[in-house]
């Protein structure tokens, strides 16, 4: 009995061990067969064998099955086979495979995985087609005549409605192109365009569009985000590769990150891209949750060279963010944006914004590279710098305003500035008169003297008597037109020029200072009068010739000479040095000259930052300062008056800016 029990125990233990082994085998077997890579390899191998194995269109296998994006792939001599559990094993080869992989393939493109084996198209034996798994149902269509192109989304739906490659439009001859909200694709017999905001189709020929009325295109956030990314250049564009998954933003919106920016989506605005610097400004202002709203178009070229960018947003006052490398990114919105746009925006006279808007009670102001715009919200009127731009803004419709803008205020920032400009012009005119009239008097005297010298010979060059003679007194000679001697017989009178560094006594020899008889102040000429008006415009000269009844043949156009210290006679009654040679009387003193015919000052141009030719010195009457071209503040300062030289600016009471 004992032996039987022992044998029975051994048998039982053997049976238990066998059962345990079978159980382990049973548990391990599903793990091996459930491997995603193994499942993919099995499915691909089975499909390949079914197609003919080595003799199939794909040819023999190359290598092993590998991971590709969210699925798997296997290489063959003549093509590839791709696999996901959702799409199964699908083959692709030749030009369609090349197109697919050029767009990023399963890993980097937005096409997804193929959903069918590549097959012959409806256009005949020289056409091929392959469809893909992305939500907008893309396909790649190839013909021997035109090549391989992607057709997808709304345009694919419309093309399919019109008969696809066997219909009126024929086969695709290019990829989809983008122009703002409009997507367009060319076919061998026409075109299809789709506006993604209005959802409307247009066609070439136009009569085909009627067949597309009522065609519904589903709103798919992912498809629209991908479309915005493609419109911005795809992986090769400024956005670059995708980063992570979509995330919720704002009210009912989504955002997708890329290396170089973001694409924002909302049902009302669709999907639009914002890049780098403008994105930074946008998100600093609150992004989609702020008061700008969602972007309504992809960021675009701002139209200024060498570089500028602009993005538009959905808020009611139609804001934009405009960026330039020199000044950065700024928001332009509301009435200011409407006025700026009316004045041709950044490509107009005002140029790009250089700051955000500022508010002072009822006035909203924004500065641009070429001036500024101010809008008064109470009166609904504009003022501008330059002032002449404001007239174009009368009647402008302002976002949020029931009535159009009223007549523009004349002038700059405020209406009072108009009076200021006229006052400045008046001051400039008075300065010119004050400088020109005394010089005209001196010109006439020099001409009279020269005429007598030419007509009277050597005797006419004799010096006048040094003692006081009533005939030569200041009173008698104050009005030359009524002098007792006419122009033909009046002897020349020596000119008195007072040099700032020389007292009058220094002009006379030490032993003759007792003969000094100073002329009245109004008859003493200052050196500035000679230097500023040494040369005059021919028109001005003619004017004074007529006023003083001068003979044009005797006009003296020689530069006025400054007496040298050793040669100057001490006043109108100084003793003669006995020389009859006029050349010894004066010596020319070098002075800065203004070109012939040029006035000393110039009022601002329409653009107050534009430098008038020949007037490089910029001055600001409000501060009393002037700016030279090498000043660091020169470019940023708005000119109220321009001078031909630094000396003239100083002579008019301006001081050099630090």
Contact 638, 627 (CB under 8 A): no
Same domain, 298 and 160: no
| Edge-first strand listing for the sheet containing 371-376 | 358-360, 363-368, 371-376, 381-385
SS3 state at 399: coil
Contact 162, 209 (CB under 8 A): no
Pick the closest to residue 455 from 490, 493, 495, 485 (CA basis): 490
Model confidence pLDDT, tens digit, residues 78-96: 999 999 999 999 999 999 9
Model confidence pLDDT, tens digit, residues 307-355: 999 999 999 999 999 999 999 999 999 999 999 999 999 999 999 999 9
The 8-class DSSP code of residue 271 comes to E
Final residue of a structural domain among 197, 222, 247: 222
Within a domain: 568: no
Same domain, 61 and 99: yes
Both structure tokens of 45: 């191998």
Which structural domain range is residue 77 located in?
36-222
Within a domain: 412: no
Averaged pLDDT in 10-residue chunks for the chain of 658 residues = 53 62 55 78 98 97 97 98 98 98 95 98 96 98 98 98 97 96 97 94 98 93 96 94 96 97 97 98 98 97 95 97 98 98 96 98 97 96 96 89 66 45 61 62 56 47 42 43 42 41 44 47 49 46 46 48 43 42 42 59 82 90 86 83 91 86
Same domain, 61 and 75: yes
Final residue of a structural domain among 340, 368, 392: 392
Within a domain: 582: no
- For the packed helices 538-547 and 416-456, what is the interaxial angle rounded to 10 degrees? 70
Same domain, 178 and 253: no
User: Side-chain half-sphere of 317: how many Cα atoms within 13 Å?
Assistant: 14
Same domain, 218 and 234: no
Residue 631, pLDDT score:
86
Burial label for 561, CB within 10 Å (0-12, 13-18, 19+), is: middle
Spell out a b/e string for 267-306, using b for 16 or more CB atoms within 10 Å of the CB, else e: eebbbbbbbebbbbbbeebebbeeebbbbbbbbeebebee
User: Side-chain half-sphere of 436: how many Cα atoms within 13 Å?
Assistant: 16
Distance between CA 25 and CA 27 in Å, rounded? 5
Q: Tally the domains of the chain.
A: 3
Same domain, 234 and 378: yes
Same domain, 210 and 251: no
Within a domain: 272: yes
Final residue of a structural domain among 222, 246, 262: 222
Spatial neighbors of 163 by CB under 8 A, at least 6 apart, are 169
Rounded to whole angstroms, what are the CA distances from 233 to 150, 241, 399, 536, 615? Answer: 15, 11, 33, 63, 48
SS3 state at 362: coil
Question: Residue 386, preceding bond cis, omega within 30 degrees?
Answer: yes
Rounded to whole angstroms, what are the CA distances from 527 to 19, 294, 446, 533? Answer: 127, 69, 15, 10
Same domain, 256 and 378: yes
Both structure tokens of 495: 């000119």
SS3 state at 38: helix
Rounded to whole angstroms, what are the CA distances from 455 to 461, 555, 580, 601? Answer: 11, 14, 15, 39
Within a domain: 455: no
Same domain, 199 and 256: no
Contact 139, 149 (CB under 8 A): no
Distance between CA 581 and CA 458 in Å, rounded? 9
Within a domain: 30: no
| Edge-first strand listing for the sheet containing 201-204 | 177-179, 182-187, 190-195, 201-204
Bridge partners, 525 (sequence order): 497
Pick the closest to residue 428 from 599, 174, 562 (CA basis): 599
Same domain, 214 and 268: no
Distance between CA 189 and CA 182 in Å, rounded? 20
């Amino acid at each position: 009995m004992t032996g039987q029990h022992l044998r029975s125990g051994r048998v039982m233990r053997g049976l238990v061990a066998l059962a345990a082994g079978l159980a382990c085998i049973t548990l391990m077997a599903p793990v091996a067969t459930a491997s995603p890579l193994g499942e993919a390899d099995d499915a691909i191998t089975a499909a390949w064998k079914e197609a003919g194995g080595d003799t199939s269109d794909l040819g023999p296998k190359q290598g092993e099955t590998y991971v590709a994006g969210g699925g798997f792939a296997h290489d063959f001599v003549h093509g590839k086979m791709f696999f996901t559990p959702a799409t199964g094993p699908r083959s692709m080869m030749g030009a369609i495979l090349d197109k697919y992989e050029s767009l990023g393939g399963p890993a980097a493109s937005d096409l997804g995985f193929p959903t069918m084996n590549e097959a012959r198209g409806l256009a005949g034996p020289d056409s091929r087609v392959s469809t893909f798994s992305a939500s907008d149902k893309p396909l790649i269509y190839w013909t021997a005549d035109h090549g391989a192109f992607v057709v997808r989304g709304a345009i694919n739906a419309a093309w399919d409605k019109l008969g696809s490659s066997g219909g009126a439009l024929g086969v695709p001859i290019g990829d989809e192109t983008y122009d703002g909200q409009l997507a367009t694709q060319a076919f061998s017999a026409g075109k299809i365009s789709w506006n993604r905001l209005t959802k409307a189709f247009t066609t070439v020929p136009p009569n085909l569009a009627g067949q597309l009325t009522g065609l519904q295109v589903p709103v798919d956030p992912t498809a629209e985000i991908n479309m915005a990314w493609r419109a911005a250049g795809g992986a090769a564009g400024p956005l670059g590769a995708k980063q992570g998954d979509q995330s919720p933003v704002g009210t009912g919106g989504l955002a997708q990150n890329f290396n170089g920016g973001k694409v924002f989506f909302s049902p009302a605005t669709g999907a639009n891209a914002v890049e780098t610097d403008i994105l930074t400004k946008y998100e600093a202002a609150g992004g989609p949750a702020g008061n700008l709203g969602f972007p309504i178009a992809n960021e675009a070229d701002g139209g200024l060279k060498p570089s500028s960018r602009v993005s538009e947003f959905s808020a009611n006052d139609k804001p934009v963010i405009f960026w330039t490398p020199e000044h950065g990114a700024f928001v332009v919105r509301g009435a200011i944006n409407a006025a700026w746009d009316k004045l041709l925006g950044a490509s107009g006279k005002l140029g790009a914004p250089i700051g955000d808007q500022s508010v002072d009670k009822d006035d909203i102001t924004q500065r641009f590279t070429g001036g500024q715009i101010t809008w008064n919200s109470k009166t609904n009127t504009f003022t501008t710098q330059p002032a002449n731009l404001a007239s174009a803004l009368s009647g402008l419709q302002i976002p949020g305003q029931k009535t159009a803008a009223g007549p523009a205020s004349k002038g700059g920032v405020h209406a009072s500035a108009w009076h200021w400009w006229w006052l400045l012009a008046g001051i400039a005119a008075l300065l010119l008169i004050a400088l020109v009239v005394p010089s005209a008097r001196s010109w006439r005297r020099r001409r009279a003297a020269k005429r007598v010298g030419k007509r009277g010979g050597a005797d006419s060059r004799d010096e006048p008597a040094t003692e006081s003679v009533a005939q030569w007194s200041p009173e008698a000679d104050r009005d030359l037109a009524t002098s007792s001697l006419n122009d033909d017989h009046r002897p020349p009178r020596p000119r008195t020029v007072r040099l700032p560094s020389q007292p009058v006594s220094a002009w006379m020899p030490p032993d003759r200072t007792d003969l000094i008889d100073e002329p009245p102040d109004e008859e003493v000429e200052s050196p500035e009068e000679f230097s500023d008006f040494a040369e005059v415009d021919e028109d001005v000269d003619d004017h004074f010739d007529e006023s003083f009844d001068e003979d044009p043949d005797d006009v003296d156009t020689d530069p006025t000479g400054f007496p040298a210290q050793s040669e100057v006679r001490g006043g109108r009654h100084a003793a003669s040095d006995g020389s009859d040679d006029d050349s010894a009387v004066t010596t020319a003193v070098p002075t800065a000259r203004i070109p012939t015919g040029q006035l000393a000052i110039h009022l601002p141009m329409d653009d107050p930052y534009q430098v008038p030719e020949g007037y490089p010195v910029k001055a600001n009457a409000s501060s009393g300062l002037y700016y030279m071209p090498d000043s660091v503040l020169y470019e940023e300062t708005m000119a109220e008056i321009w001078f031909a030289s630094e000396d003239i600016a100083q002579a008019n009471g301006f001081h050099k800016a630090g």
